[in-house]
Amino acid sequence: MRMTRSLRVASATAVGALALTTLGLTAPAQARPLATSDAATECYVPETHSDESDAARGGYGKDHRDITVDEQRAIEARTNAILKAKGEPALGAETTLASGTVPVYFHVMASATGEGDVTDAQIQAQMAELNENFAGRESTAAADTGFTFTLAGVDRYYNNQWHKDRQSTTYRAKTRQGGANALNIWLVDFSYLGIATFPWDYARNPSIDGIRVHWDSLPGGTIANYNQGKTATHEAGHWFGLYHTFQGGCTAENDGVADTPAQGSSTSGCPEGRDSCALPGLDPIHNYMDYSYDACYNQFTPDQSSRISSMWTAYRAG
């Protein structure tokens, strides 16, 4: 769907496995893992700068496949060519923004004994969190992306291998639902917080498109500092085509978004005043695409919203 809207800013802050559809619904990158983080500090400047090679939230690995600078540029060029063919402005240009409702399919990959079998209430709370975050309701500086999420289905599988994210290519291919516009969320137990695919990879491998999220990071989970449901928000940002705010490190190119200051390295915790790059601006530690604590996250920027719109139009719109 495409409609004219202005960029808004919020005013408020196996098959082998047993399957069960719940909630009365009919079912039709490397990762961000777990660990402790720095305490908040003032005017924090890291001693060393790094870039996309940074470990993920908590320190164990990245949450999507590696994107080199050359590939990043090639992706931008490819995306602009697709947009031009559709009669749409290039990335970063002034434009009316796409808007739409994203159907969401949850795949609960529980163990044979039921570990990871999150409640219906937790799934509903995760949906509410996605809608709040993408509507820009957590900060007066946050952009309303124009995208909303609706629960389209919930499947429950009781399979020890799938629960531990083993045979992931197989289980995703067997369980994924919907088209390019459908967000599939697999809830698993692994060493990371989340893993995402990018929209430009959908055409070559649609059967694994979506995000994998640690089941205990949903609202009400027990992973300290990462249990408000914002792991799914972060990974959905990648699914929409956003990079980390520290993509490429301390460079002008950075994440391809003009209003997210360049970062020399990812953030841990919520260190107000952090400045890891000599280029203008403090690190955007409150941005959903950094690696801050869940409680620190509160915004996508207007230019991130514009990029989401363009990527949706290029790769996910019908």
Catalytic positions, written as ranges: 235
Strand (E) or helix (H) holding 34: none
Q: How far apart are CA 77 and CA 100, in angstroms?
A: 25
| Relative orientation angle of helices 69-85 and 302-311, to the nearest 10 degrees | 70
CA dihedral angle for residue 316, residue 215, residue 255, residue 263, rounded to 10 degrees:
170
Q: Which of 255, 164, 197, 192 is nearest to 55 (CA)?
A: 192
Q: How far apart are CA 297 and CA 288, in angstroms?
A: 5
Looking at residue 62, its amino acid is: K
Q: How far apart are CA 188 and CA 181, in angstroms?
A: 22
Q: How far apart are CA 18 and CA 37, in angstroms?
A: 38
According to DSSP, residue 149 is labeled E
Q: Cα 244 from chain centroid?
A: 9
